């Protein structure tokens, strides 16, 4: 795809927002270099982020910060540097991947958990949402005594004061916006083929990153419990379709392209 057309595609996907570079690089490593021995050269990182519209200086600052925070490390490779996830960074990345890349909602059920209002007890809130100080909606039954828990009827409707605690209005709006942008990308990529491996990688990174910013913010609860205009189900569907349609380039191919 020629450069102007690709820039237009990137802009249709990300809009006016420039992604936060630090966070975007976490997505790059998670998408392309999550394996233990994987290394990404500085050149590939530069070209990839430049395609997404990130300035070289911003990328260098972000790489520095990621290294300082223990996410990545680097080693010299001739005149170039190669970057890779630390053990800790890889663990973080691996922990988030199932949620980011899931083609199905994590849970189709939810449990209502209540703790003693007079004596709040800790409950495992992983993946769940606190509705009030003693009221939790959780994707699985808790294993703590002194709690009350019941599976929520499949047909039960959640009132606004509950759905608003499951997902903010802003995040619901973000998901609707992204669902529309992903549809545009699906139409564009279906019509025009001929993406280079680097373009493919950049597009995949940006798709994954856009969805990651939403999906890691929300509880792992059924989509039907989210407030309007939540469009997470559409986003998940489009992301899955696009990732299947856009072949994931091997790191070695990207390095070869750059070197060539």
Stretch that binds a second copy, among 40-48, 69-77, 154-162, 171-179 (CB under 8 A): 154-162
The full length of the chain comes to 260
- Site for a second copy contains 117 (CB under 8 A): yes
What are the C-alpha distances in Å from 253 to residues 2, 44, 75, 104, 196? 20, 10, 20, 30, 11
**Do the Cβ atoms of 138 and 127 come closer than 8 Å?**
yes
- Site for a second copy contains 143 (CB under 8 A): no
- Site for a second copy contains 145 (CB under 8 A): yes
Residue 112 and residue 225: Cα distance in Å, rounded?
12
Toward a second copy, which CB reaches closer, 78 or 159?
A: 159
Residue 122 and residue 133: Cα distance in Å, rounded?
10
Interface residue with a second copy among 2, 161, 191, 260 (CB under 8 A) is 161
Tokens at 253, concatenated: 């191919």
**Do the Cβ atoms of 234 and 103 come closer than 8 Å?**
no
Interface residue with a second copy among 147, 195, 231, 235 (CB under 8 A) is 147
Interface residue with a second copy among 118, 143, 170, 193 (CB under 8 A) is 118
- Site for a second copy contains 162 (CB under 8 A): yes
Binding site for a second copy (CB under 8 A): 112, 114, 116-119, 131-132, 134-135, 145-153, 156, 158-162
């Amino acid at each position: 795809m020629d450069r102007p057309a690709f820039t237009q595609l990137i802009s249709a996907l990300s809009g006016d927002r420039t992604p936060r570079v630090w966070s975007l690089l976490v997505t790059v490593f998670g998408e392309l270099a999550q394996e233990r021995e994987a290394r990404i050269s500085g050149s590939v990182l530069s070209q990839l982020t430049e395609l997404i519209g990130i300035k070289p200086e911003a990328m260098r600052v972000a790489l520095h910060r990621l290294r300082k925070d223990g996410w990545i490390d680097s080693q010299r490779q001739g005149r170039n540097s190669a970057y890779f996830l630390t053990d800790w960074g890889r663990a973080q990345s691996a922990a988030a991947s199932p949620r980011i890349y899931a083609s199905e909602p994590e849970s189709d059920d939810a449990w209502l958990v209540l703790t003693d209002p007079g004596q709040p007890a800790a409950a495992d809130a992983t993946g769940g949402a606190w509705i009030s100080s003693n009221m939790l909606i959780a994707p699985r039954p808790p294993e703590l005594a002194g709690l009350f828990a019941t599976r929520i009827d499949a047909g039960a409707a959640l009132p606004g004061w509950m759905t608003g605690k499951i997902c903010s209005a802003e995040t619901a709006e973000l998901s609707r916006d992204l669902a529309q942008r992903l549809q545009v990308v699906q139409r564009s990529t279906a019509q025009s083929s001929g993406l280079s491996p680097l373009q493919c990688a950049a597009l995949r990174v940006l798709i994954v990153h856009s969805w990651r910013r939403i999906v890691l913010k929300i509880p792992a609860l059924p989509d039907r419990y989210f407030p309007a205009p939540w469009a997470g189900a559409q986003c998940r569907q489009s992301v899955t379709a696009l990732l299947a349609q856009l072949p994931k380039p091997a790191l070695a191919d990207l390095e070869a392209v750059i070197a060539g």
